[in-house]
Amino acid sequence: MRPTRRDDASTVLICGAGIAGTVLAYRLACAGLRPTVVERSAGLRQAGNAVDLRGPAVEVVADMGVLVELEARATQLGEFFRIDSSGKRVFTMAPEVIGGEIELLRTELNAVLFDAAQTGVEYRFGESIRSLHDRGDVVAVTFDSGRRGDFDLVIGADGLHSRTRALAFGPETEFVRHLGCYQAHFTTDNILGLHNAGLLFNRPGRSLGCYTVHQDRELVIGLFFESAQRVYDRADVAAQRHWINRTFDGMGWRAAELLEAMQVCDDFYFDAIAQVALASPYRGRVALVGDAAYGPSLLSGMGATLAIVGAAVLADELSCRSGDHRQAFARYEARIRDMTRLSQELARASLGWFIQPDGADGIPPDTQLAADRESDVLRDRTLAAVRAALGNRPSCARK
């Protein structure tokens, strides 16, 4: 796809330069619309876990011309094992539970997509919306910098804690459902000596996962724990690390060694594990895409796939229904409905075996196999819904 120019091109403000935002910007520019992307951070996100690209998402990135590069950057992760407190491998986890057709670090996926989405797109880093007013014919936006602008449409692609959603739909507490646990991620040297493998160590109410990246030179560490929802300062990284240290103190195996590495990492990431539930992903001339609209949580393994396919679906509808955003948004909502619902069911079904409940003592192999089978069925249904969403394209968007 190549950007084209249209005299009647709509101006679209996209809030967030993450996975969904860049895919949306690319496809809108290719259709001749005029996307502007604002990103609160000074640059692309530099922390997070690996993400999976499954089924139709691979088709979308191939259409962007970046499939070969993404495959070259893939983690190439082989087997993934549950281990006990001695480090003994006690259960081999099904590969499809862990990764999709392509698994790679979120930061690398975002960087490749961003590089591809340059022509016809204006980016403003270190900028965020302060207020918006849907006047019916345009959306009047005021930015944190004091700059003002009118846009035909505003799309929130700004994640779980979307400011766009808060401004246009209401406070986060109305839409974000806490799943009873928190997560932290960071990267460190491969101090465990793993080769093309991942490990998961469970204790009651806590899980520690790790896997190799960058040709086994580094490890991505994931820490997950049960907790009631708490108010905390998302900017206070020291307090978040302290919370992690308290929670995982005395866990056993080599957890203490990995916690020491956490103190000096430069890519620490912490957040709740939660889902976003909206009655509708649009209101007036404002719509949401990706995690801001239907984040299923990392437990589903579908977040990146949904972000990419959802952005492609929204771009299809906006490109083919110029001047009729109501119909475009309604069609977008209808096409993504099943895939978002099923992905959230998949995440909730995965929670019980991913973080064993406090008070439990180990996950029996038969319980693990049953959980894997349930996940397999839900994953297949979800992927079928994702394929249907992408395949149900308006005629003008078909090649």
Q: Is the pLDDT of residue 7 over 90?
A: no
Rg (CA), the chain: 21
Its sign, for the CA torsion 152, 309, 19, 272, is positive
Rounded Cα–Cα distance for residues 113 and 65 (Å): 10
Q: What is the pLDDT of residue 356?
A: 72
Instruction: Evaluate whether residue 320 is within a structural domain.
Output: yes
Q: Which two tokens stand for residue 399?
A: 């090649």
Task: Please calculate the CA angle 332-338-339 and round it to the nearest 5 degrees.
Answer: 85
Q: Per-residue pLDDT averaged across 236-264, rounded? A: 97
Residues 6+ apart with CB under 8 A from 180: 226, 227, 228, 229, 273, 351
Instruction: Evaluate whether residue 249 is within a structural domain.
Output: yes
- Give the tens place of pLDDT for each residue, 159-215: 999 999 999 999 999 999 999 999 999 999 999 999 989 999 999 999 999 999 999
Rounded Cα–Cα distance for residues 233 and 246 (Å): 17
Give Cα separations from 182 to 288, 297, 299, 348, 361 (angstroms): 24, 11, 11, 14, 20
Instruction: Evaluate whether residue 71 is within a structural domain.
Output: yes
pTM for this predicted structure: 0.93
Instruction: Evaluate whether residue 322 is within a structural domain.
Output: yes
| Number of domains within the chain | 1
CATH number (domain holding residue 309)? 3.50.50.60
Residue 377: CB atoms within 10 A of its CB come to 12
- Give the tens place of pLDDT for each residue, 356-374: 765 545 556 565 566 667 7
Instruction: Evaluate whether residue 4 is within a structural domain.
Output: no
- Give the tens place of pLDDT for each residue, 294-311: 999 999 989 999 999 999
The single-letter DSSP state of residue 100 is -
**What is the residue whose two structure tokens read 């916690």?**
259
Rounded Cα–Cα distance for residues 325 and 139 (Å): 13
- Give burial (CB, 10 Å; 0-12/13-18/19+) of 17: buried
Instruction: Evaluate whether residue 315 is within a structural domain.
Output: yes
Q: What is the pLDDT of residue 5?
A: 45
Which structural domain, as residue segments, surrounds residue 201? 11-390
Instruction: Evaluate whether residue 24 is within a structural domain.
Output: yes
Name the nearest CA neighbour of 316 among 300, 329, 303: 329
Instruction: Evaluate whether residue 137 is within a structural domain.
Output: yes
Paired strand residues for 183: 224, 271
